[in-house]
């Protein structure tokens, strides 16, 4: 039952060794290494920051800020954590900064209502599913949204997410718990259950 997922590799795990080498080269001032790392992370960071900030205009700015800091601070990476944990920690802080600068999400991108979600057909195409999911994620507080993204999209452990978001592991667990409850109630079709159904875990 659980073995089906055992061979699924987290998105960033496979690149750890190469990323360490690249960070060492960046610390030595090699622009080519920074370029490689930039293109390796651009898509993942783009999605993470898109869901974090909810604003396309803030994404490139946050990615630029992230790699600017990577360039400046690469020598300070001591290998105590995975390179992806270190980079995502920087991206998280840059994303929050971008969020503060750009202000709250515009109303049309705001909370996903049950009525809106229930109007979506159960046989969703991938594109519709993505939009629907993004809408549900946007309805979460930014910390819960980022926790979900770091765990499910980027494959980070509970401890790594604590390091990235600079918070205790119990806080990560609490955020994940609350996010899952909310999404379960907001994404009924994905749950394969009536829309108003509530879990009894609360």
SS3 state of residue 149: helix
Tabulate helix, strand, coil % of the chain (nearest 5): 70, 0, 30
Whichever of 46 and 96 has its CB closer to other proteins, that residue is 46
- Should residue 153 be labelled a site residue for other proteins when binding is judged by CB under 8 A? yes
d(CA 202, CA 199): 7
- Sequence-distant (6+) residues with CB within 8 A of 63 are 42, 45, 46, 49, 91, 94
Whichever of 152 and 166 has its CB closer to other proteins, that residue is 152
Shortest Cβ 166–other proteins spacing (Å): 19
Which residues from 14-43 bind other proteins, rule CB under 8 A? Answer: 27, 29, 31, 35, 38-39, 42-43
- Should residue 151 be labelled a site residue for other proteins when binding is judged by CB under 8 A? yes
Q: How far is CA 171 from CA 95, 144, 176, 179, 182, in A?
A: 19, 10, 9, 12, 17
Which residues of the shown chain bind other proteins in the complex (CB under 8 A)?
Answer: 1-2, 5-6, 8-11, 13, 27, 29, 31, 35, 38-39, 42-43, 46-47, 50, 56, 59-60, 63-64, 67-68, 71-73, 75-76, 126-127, 129-130, 133, 148-149, 151-153, 155-158, 160, 173, 176-177, 180, 183-184, 187, 190-192, 199-201
């Amino acid at each position: 039952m659980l073995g089906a997922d055992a061979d699924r590799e987290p998105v960033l795990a496979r690149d750890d060794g190469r990323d360490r080498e690249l960070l060492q080269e960046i610390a030595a001032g090699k622009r080519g290494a920074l370029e490689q790392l930039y293109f390796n992370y651009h898509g993942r960071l783009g999605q993470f920051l898109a869901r974090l900030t909810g604003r396309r205009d803030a994404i490139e700015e946050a990615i630029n800020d992230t790699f600017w800091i990577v360039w400046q601070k690469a020598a300070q990476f001591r290998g105590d954590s995975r390179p992806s944990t270190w980079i995502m920690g920087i991206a998280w802080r840059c994303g929050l900064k971008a969020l503060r600068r750009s202000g709250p999400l515009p109303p049309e991108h705001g909370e996903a209502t049950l009525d809106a979600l229930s109007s979506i057909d159960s046989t969703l195409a991938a594109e519709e599913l993505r939009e629907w999911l993004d809408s549900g994620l946007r309805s979460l507080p930014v910390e819960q949204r980022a926790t979900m993204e770091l765990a499910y999209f980027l494959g980070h452990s509970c401890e790594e997410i604590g390091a990235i978001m600079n918070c205790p592991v119990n806080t990560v667990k609490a955020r994940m718990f609350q996010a899952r409850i909310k999404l379960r109630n907001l994404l009924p079709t994905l749950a394969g259950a009536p829309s108003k159904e509530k879990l009894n875990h609360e």
